Structure 1
Amino acid sequence: MGSRWIRPEVYPLFVTTGVAVGICAMQLVRNITTNPEVRVTKQNRAAGVLENHDEGKRYSQHGVRRFWLSQRRDYMQALDNDPPAPK
């Protein structure tokens, strides 16, 4: 029998590398398409510096960030809600 070209031990490495590349690609596409400071076309670049505060706020406060900030951050919620028992 010949040796295997890809061993099963490296599958987790391929998965984590694939996820990292996917996250980088997603962020790159998000920045190119929705970032108010990035202008790809010549017509948009000719506009100069714009004062788009609303557009910048929409970009920075996206859905994932709004969801994350709305969640409780208590790590020990059961201990925080119950007062300690008297001795």
Structure 2
Amino acid sequence: MASTNRWLRPEVYPLFASVSVAVGICAMQLVRNITTNPEVRVTKENRTAGILENHEEGERYAEHGLRKFVRKRQPQIMPSVNNFFSDPN
């Protein structure tokens, strides 16, 4: 009971949340690499294939959906606030 009260205080919840998000992002990236990366071969049959010249599969892996979505956007977090303070109107 004493250890539960020590670690489950309301002040610790944001720390648990941020660590959980970080672990989730790492797990998602690991699963993505194992399942879709053309250079990672898990099965024995694929490992014996050696080096493959499969440029289409590598291009599909490198140009994923998030990269395509972000490519057409401005590299700003809050463009309306930046424009308010930087544009002379």
TM-score by length of 2: 0.79
User: How many residues are matched?
Assistant: 80
Q: Which runs of 5+ in 2 are unaligned?
A: none
Aligned-partner Cα distance in 1 for 2:60–2:72: 16
Q: What stretches of structure 1 of length at least 5 have no aligned partner? A: none
Q: Which amino acid aligns with 1:4?
A: N
Greater than 4 Å deviation, 4+ residue runs: none
What is the identity percentage for the equivalent residue pairs of Structure 1 and Structure 2? 61
1:47 matched to 2:49: yes
Q: Deviations over 1:2-28 (max 9, x none)?
A: 782411100000000000000000000
State how far apart, in whole Å, the 1-side matches of 2:36 and 2:17 are.
28
Q: Distance in 1 between matches of 2:48 and 2:70?
A: 37
Determine whether 1:10 maps to 2:12.
yes
- Secondary structure of the residue aligned to 1:58 is helix
Counterparts in 2 of 1:14 and 1:41: CA distance versus 1, 3 Å = same
SS for the counterpart of 1:4 is: helix
Q: Spell out, residue by residue over 1:52-86, the C-alpha distance to the aligned partner (whole angstroms, 9 max, x if none).
A: 1111011011000110111123644462xxxx57x
TM-score, scaled to structure 1: 0.81
C-alpha root-mean-square deviation of aligned residues, in Å? 2.0
Alignment of 1:1-87 (within 5 A): 4-5=5-6, 6-73=8-75, 75=79, 76-77=82-83, 79=87
Q: Rg: which structure is higher?
A: 1
